[in-house]
Amino acid sequence: MVRWKRNILDRSKLRDVVLLCCFASALMYGVSNTGIVIGFTMLASGCFLHLVAKGILIRNVVLTNRGLYKVVRHPYYLANYLIDCSFCVLSGNPYLLIVYPFLFFWAYGPTLRNEEKLLNEKHGDAFLNSNFVVPQVFPDMGSLRGLKELFDGFSLKRITAKECSRIARFFSMSFVIILIHELKPEGLSGLKHMLIPTRHDYDEFLFMLAVITLLTCSLVFIKAASNFRAGTDGRS
């Protein structure tokens, strides 16, 4: 039986801490167009890996070692790393980007140890053999060859409404960070121009519209997932 030790900063709290720091940082730091491009590229890459990992994983049934799982043993956590780093880049705070790797291993270290202990107990030699070939979270030059079979074992049926909700929420939070940058010169009074745009500030209005749309989609997906679980429980 694996005992999960409580950590002061676990992975569920880490993203909340990162986002709060990013919102505060956006008030004090600026971000360049290059930073925005890099940030959204990292975000899109992280979300892509997130969906591919979920589409391949068959949890608690077999040892998943196909497709993306030939590149790293924990691609879902690699995806989270890229997503959180994208928020740090968009915040414009270089110190936050430097500190984040330490926070990541503080929060994810105990989870990785416990999960791998559980996998070792359940799958034995099959899991141990993969440890010698596949890196844990970050790929190396050898494991990148597995990208040729990136989608091996992938199924869209494993992508749930809950996962779609997460992706929509990730993008909405990134737009919120950009909105804070945009609001700095005018303060809260700038909200008036976003909600009632003139012909000179449609860019800001579109950002606001994107945030509202993505947050709405996130809530719709959460509701759909909840209804699906309720229907499944009712049939069982």
**Entry pTM:** 0.81
Q: Are the CB atoms for 38 and 89 separated by under 8 Å?
A: yes
Same domain, 112 and 201: no
Same domain, 148 and 57: yes
Same domain, 169 and 122: no
Same domain, 118 and 172: no
d(CA 200, CA 125): 64
User: What is the model's pLDDT at position 181?
Assistant: 86
Domain boundary among 153, 171, 199: 153
Q: Is 174 helix (H, G, I), strand (E, B) or coil?
A: helix
User: What is the model's pLDDT at position 206?
Assistant: 67
For 63-72, 199-208, 223-232, which range has the lowest pLDDT when averaged over its residues? Answer: 223-232
Query: Which residue, chain included where needed, has tokens 């500190």?
Result: 99
pLDDT, tens digit, 9 for 90 and up, residues 52-110: 999 998 876 777 888 898 899 899 999 999 999 999 999 999 999 999 999 999 999 88
The tokens describing 130, both together, are 């993969």
Same domain, 138 and 171: no
User: Where does the pLDDT of residue 5 fall: very low under 50, low under 70, confident under 90, or very high at 90 and above?
Assistant: low
Q: What's the whole-number mean pLDDT along residues 2-20?
A: 77
Q: What's the whole-number mean pLDDT along residues 119-146?
A: 81
Same domain, 130 and 20: yes
Could you give the angle at which helices 11-28 and 75-91 cross, rounded to 10 degrees? 20
Same domain, 103 and 40: yes
pLDDT, tens digit, 9 for 90 and up, residues 147-195: 888 888 888 888 888 888 888 889 888 888 988 887 776 655 555 555 5
User: What is the model's pLDDT at position 10?
Assistant: 80
Same domain, 97 and 20: yes
Domain boundary among 128, 153, 178: 153
Same domain, 119 and 187: no
pLDDT, tens digit, 9 for 90 and up, residues 205-223: 666 676 677 667 666 666 6
Same domain, 143 and 194: no
- Amino acid identity of residue 7, one-letter, is N
User: Where does the pLDDT of residue 132 fall: very low under 50, low under 70, confident under 90, or very high at 90 and above?
Assistant: confident
Same domain, 54 and 167: no
User: What is the model's pLDDT at position 203?
Assistant: 62
d(CA 72, CA 138): 6
Structural domain harbouring 212: 160-236
User: What is the model's pLDDT at position 100?
Assistant: 95
**What total of structural domains would you count in the chain?**
2
The tokens describing 125, both together, are 């030699």
Q: Is 78 helix (H, G, I), strand (E, B) or coil?
A: helix
Same domain, 114 and 46: yes
Is the pLDDT at 232 greater than 60, yes or no? no
The CATH number covering residue 46 comes to: 1.20.120.1630
d(CA 55, CA 77): 15
d(CA 123, CA 135): 18
Domain boundary among 153, 172, 195: 153
| Sign of the torsion formed by the C-alpha atoms of 154, 155, 156 and 162 | negative
User: What is the model's pLDDT at position 180?
Assistant: 85
Q: Give the number of other Cβ atoms within 10 Å of residue 67's Cβ.
A: 21
Is the pLDDT at 234 greater than 50, yes or no? no
